[in-house]
Amino acid sequence: MKCKFLSVPVLVVLLFIGFLYYTTVFILIEEWLGLNTSPGLLNAIIFSGFAVASIACYVLAIFKDPGHVPATYEPDIEDSTTPIQEIKRKGGDLRYCQKCSRYKPPRAHHCRVCRRCVLRMDHHCVWINNCVGHANYKVFFVFVMYAVMACIHSLVILVCNAVHDFHKDREENGGSFRTSYIICGTILVPLSLALSILLGWHVYLISHNKTTIEYHEGVRAMWLAQKVGNIYQHPYDLGVYENLVSVLGPNIFSWVCPTSHHIGSGLRFRTSYDSNSSQAQS
């Protein structure tokens, strides 16, 4: 099996993580508070916790299979427990992948990079050299969350250190540290902004129980529905809390952990039609 770490984007991410960790702990915290003091040690421990959690989730996101379509899968159009079957836009036939030579379950899509159909595919991410799909979506989300926390923590320490150094002129070793400030800030500011936007985007997607692909498909479906006077509703939107539970898990304390025991097979998902049918029966 080809090692997934042997890609330029993954090596760049690991290089950035290593550089930011060394700069934050052994230069910024050491210069500002000192690692031999209680505040300095506490900040170093907290930042190290964010860094370790980020690296652990990053590695999991790289190596965890996003979910593939079983060779034996066939849609059952007569199954009364499946309220909807996704069909092709043109022709109205059941979705079938010509490249994989098998039917596609709901929310599955073919990835041209991975050369296979991925369950509940969100997107292919070059930064993890893997698809983000059903089985590793939560791991990817938690990784981004911890990465944002680590970047913001590092950025706060950088700003406090720069202010402290400005008021306390140390010319004997100020040059080398100021160079580190500039390099670290040049990386941290755009990285923190980009990751924060990415985190906000996926919080929005999770709260609406959508994938990135489904969002773009929904924009088109909404436009087509409005043209004929209809209202488009995303079929997998169960309400904000239920949407969060379906992706992050039923236990709120596990939302920050890269666990995914609750996700099911990925071949069928609850829809708003399930809720409507159960309410009608009751």
Q: H or E stretch including 224?
A: helix 212-227
CA distance linking residue 177 with residue 162, whole number of Å: 9
> What is the average pLDDT across 151-164?
90
Active site residues: 125
Q: Is 263 exposed, middle or buried (0-12, 13-18, 19+ CB in 10 A)?
A: buried
Whether 157 is covered by a domain: the verdict is yes
For β-strands 102-103 and 109-111, DSSP reports them as unpaired
Whether 1 is covered by a domain: the verdict is no
Mean residue pLDDT of the chain comes to 86
21-37 confidence digits (pLDDT tens)? 999 999 999 988 999 99
pTM for the full predicted model? 0.88
The yes-or-no verdict on residue 278 having pLDDT over 60 is no
In the chain, the number of structural domains is 1
Whether 218 is covered by a domain: the verdict is yes
pLDDT band at 281 (very low <50, low <70, confident <90, very high): very low
Whether 175 is covered by a domain: the verdict is yes
- Give the 3-state secondary structure of residue 62: helix
Whether 114 is covered by a domain: the verdict is yes
Whether 78 is covered by a domain: the verdict is yes
H helical segments located in 64-173:
137-167
CA distance linking residue 95 with residue 123, whole number of Å: 19
CA distance linking residue 274 with residue 117, whole number of Å: 26
**Residues with Cβ within 8 Å of residue 17, at least 6 apart in sequence:** 51, 54, 55, 58
Q: Is 120 left (phi over 0), alpha (psi -120 to 50) or beta?
A: left
Whether 3 is covered by a domain: the verdict is no
Q: Whole domain around residue 195: which residue ranges?
A: 8-280
81-132 confidence digits (pLDDT tens)? 555 556 555 545 688 899 999 899 999 999 999 999 999 999 999 999 999 9
